[in-house]
Amino acid sequence: KLYGENYRPQFHFTPERNWMNDPNGLVFYKGQYHLFYQYNPFANVWGHMSWGHAVSKDLIHWKQLPVALEEENGIMIFSGSAVVDTKNSSGLGSIQNPPLVAIYTGSTDTLQTQNLAYSTDNGLQWAKYKSNPVLNENKKDFRDPNVFWYAPEKKWIMSLSYPTTHQIAFYSSVNLRDWKQVGIFGPAGDTTGVWECPDLMRVPIYDQPGSYKWVLLTSQNATMQYFVGNFDGKNFTSETPNGTTLKPDYGTDYYAAIAYHSNPIGKPVSIGWVNNWYYANQIPTYPWKGAASLPRTLQLKKINDVWQLIQQPVAALATLRKQPVIYANKKINKTTELLPFKGNVWEGEIIMQPATTGETGLQLAVGNGLALNISYNAAAKQLVINRNNTPDYFSAAFAARPTSIAPVRLLNNELKLQVFFDKSIVEVFVNNGEQVLTVQVFPAEENNGVALYSTGENALFKRVTFWPMKSIW
Ligand code: FRU
């Protein structure tokens, strides 16, 4: 049964069948959140890249639609963005019926160019613009355009990646058809991999209504980073200190995240791809491969004098919660305690005072001697997810990446974890979104135990709550 298969997430979006990677063209229009994504219509591995399509009214329940943009004449449809062209600046619709315009990379083995497609029926059917490409610099690596409306100067701005030189270029246009370069950023921060999927956006400051700063998100190889600073319509200047690399996600399986355009929530909402290029084609899921992360709202907060993202799962997720199971004031002293609660589709909230030495945390997917560990390491002040003791037979590259590690802080000796476990996806939000870690894990269905543990003395789990979650399918 579709959506009843082994490992199939129940509250994360996955395509009915076949391969997906990056989210593309995230745009809200007329009451619908559109989710386009890199998609292979023909197979459960990467290839024949097209834009798959799904829509949602609440960012939680998704309806699968036909493929929106197909590969044509050997030109694949790579990643990109979509905008509502309210004033019909492109001339591809009308003032009465503004077009949705997608800006994507057309890709062959030797050339990547930027192209337009448009829809005048609320995103259902798409036509490629007849004078494509709109931007060609005769480059092999030149991709992932992300366009937004820059109100102060009434113009469109496109962020675009020069992957191999680790740079993001900015272009401007008044009609989405003619583009000129106005600025460039990088190399900076993490330059160990090719830079892809830029997204430049204005993000509100957490406790200062009406105040904003600019955030530039980029992806490199199999991990992401972001910079916080200012944008003047031409150039982005980063205020992130040199030598500091900030990551929107410290897990092994979060990539190519971008945010919605014109969403009504008042904060950016981002979605990433839950997978890792080093083993993405080898994960043991059929007849689909790849998932969208939970949508997250983005805000900024100064932590240790550095502007950092605060990410929270969208509020609508709470509508999936069933009756909670709660454990209060549990002392754990150098032991592991299996809980009566079991499951592999749940949200958990763990409020704990970790032991001052060793590791304190929880295990999930417990059974037959196997488990996934999520713990605070007191000496290192880190949250560590370790999947070393879970199945990894399908890929040496997966087996070679057992741990995900984030620097975290205790607040009044406490740590708060919000954990989402969804069959084969674990997303952990630390301290109300100061850090996030997303990992994949492929346990057998029957290994669905949950345990609390500490290798140190007198750990206190003040309150532990589990909500079994309803399926969205
Ligand atoms: C990122 C990426 C993009 C590209 C797409 C191809 O994961 O490599 O740079 O547009 O995937 O599917």
DSSP 176: S
pLDDT score recorded for residue 262 = 86
Cβ–Cβ under 8 Å, residues 218 and 161: yes
Give the three-state DSSP class for 210: coil
Strands (E), 108-179: 112-119, 127-128, 135-139, 143-150, 155-162, 167-173
335 and 450, same domain (yes or no) = yes
Residue 4 lies in a domain: no
Instruction: Check: CB of residue 277 under 8 Å from CB of residue 223.
Output: no
Distances (CA, A) of 439 to 178, 275, 332, 416: 41, 8, 26, 18
Instruction: Measure the CA angle with vertex 83, ends 301 and 255; round to 5°.
Output: 50
Give pLDDT tens digits for 135-187: 999 999 999 999 999 999 999 999 999 999 999 999 999 999 999 999 999 99
Question: Do 225 and 95 share a structural domain?
Answer: yes
- Check: CB of residue 163 under 8 Å from CB of residue 141: yes
Inter-CA distances, 47 with 38, 85, 126, 250, 304, Å? 10, 30, 21, 28, 44
- Report which ligand 1 atom has the smallest distance to the Cα of 144: 10
Count of structural domains within the chain: 2
Phi, psi dihedral angles at 398 (to 5 degrees): -65, -50
Regarding whether 162 and 50 lie in a shared domain, the answer is yes
Compute the distance between CA of residue 446 and CA of residue 146 in angstroms, rounded to an integer: 43
Q: Which two tokens stand for residue 21?
A: 């990677």
Q: Of 272, 290, 315, which closes a domain?
A: 315
Task: Pick from 36, 37, 38 the residue to mutate for probing ligand 1's pocket: most ligand atoms within 8 Å of its CB.
Answer: 38
Q: Which of these three, 315, 332, 361, is where a domain ends?
A: 315
| Interior angle at CA 306, CA 301 and CA 310, nearest 5 | 30
Catalytic option among 22, 85, 249, 392: 22
| Statement to judge: residues 447 and 360 lie in one domain | yes
Is residue 374 situated within a structural domain?
yes
Shared-domain flag, residues 309 and 328: no
Single out the residue in 315, 349, 376 at which a domain terminates.
315
- CA separation for the pair 67, 242 (Å, rounded): 42
Q: What is the interface pTM, i.e. ipTM, of the complex?
A: 0.98
Tokens at residue 391, please? Answer: 């199945």
- Co-location of 201 and 338 in the same domain: no
Q: 325 and 181: one domain? A: no
Contacts 24+ apart (CB under 8 A), 316-319: 316/58, 316/59, 316/60, 317/11, 317/60, 317/347, 319/58, 319/60
Q: For a ligand 1 pocket test, name from 21, 36, 109, 168 the mutation site with the most ligand atoms within 8 angstroms of its C-beta.
A: 21
Q: Are residues 410 and 457 in the same domain?
A: yes
For residue 266, being part of any structural domain is answered with yes
Q: In b/e form, how buried is each residue of 15-49, taking b as 16+ CB within 10 angstroms?
A: bebbbbbbbbbbbbbeeebbbbbbbbbeebebebb
Closest C-alpha among 459, 449, 448 to residue 335: 459
Indicate whether 220 belongs to any domain. Answer: yes
Indicate whether 238 and 202 sit together in one domain: yes
Is residue 76 located within the same domain as residue 207?
yes
What are the pocket residues of ligand 1 if the criterion is a CB atom closer than 6 Å to any ligand atom? Answer: 21-22, 38, 49, 78-79, 105, 143-144, 196-197, 255-256
Same domain, 265 and 343: no
Same structural domain, 325 and 297: no
Domain of 397, CATH number, reads: 2.60.120.560
Q: For residue 126, give the CATH number of its domain.
A: 2.115.10.20
Residue of 139, 143, 161, 289 to test ligand 1 pocket, by largest number of atoms within 8 Å of CB: 143
Domain, as residue range, for 464: 321-468
Ligand 1 atom closest to residue 38's alpha carbon, by position in its atom list = 12
pLDDT for position 218 = 98
pLDDT digit string (tens) for the chain, length 473 residues: 899 999 999 999 999 999 999 999 999 999 999 999 999 999 999 999 999 999 999 999 999 999 999 999 999 999 999 999 999 999 999 999 999 999 999 999 999 999 999 999 999 999 999 999 999 999 999 999 999 999 999 999 999 999 999 999 999 999 999 999 999 999 999 999 999 999 999 999 998 999 999 999 999 999 999 999 999 999 999 999 999 999 999 999 999 999 999 899 999 999 999 999 999 999 999 999 999 999 999 999 999 999 999 999 999 999 999 999 999 999 999 999 999 999 999 999 999 999 999 999 999 999 999 999 999 999 999 999 999 999 999 999 999 999 999 999 999 999 999 999 999 999 999 999 999 999 999 999 999 999 999 999 999 999 999 999 999 99
How high is the pLDDT of residue 156?
98
Confirm whether 77 is domain-assigned: yes
Asked if residue 6 belongs to a domain, the reply is no
Residue 335 Cα distances to 328, 373, 448, 454, angstroms: 17, 14, 19, 6
Instruction: Order the strands of the 345-353 sheet from edge to edge.
Output: 325-332, 459-468, 345-353, 415-422, 425-430, 435-440
Residue 328 lies in a domain: yes
Residue 234 lies in a domain: yes
Verify whether residue 109 is a known catalytic residue.
no
Q: How far apart are CA 111 and CA 261, in angstroms?
A: 28
If you measure from the C-alpha of residue 20 to the centroid of ligand 1, how many angstroms do you get, rounded to a whole number? 11
For residue 413, the model assigns a pLDDT of: 97
CA distance 272 to 257: 4
Q: Of 226, 319, 251, 293, nearest to 35 (Cα)?
A: 293
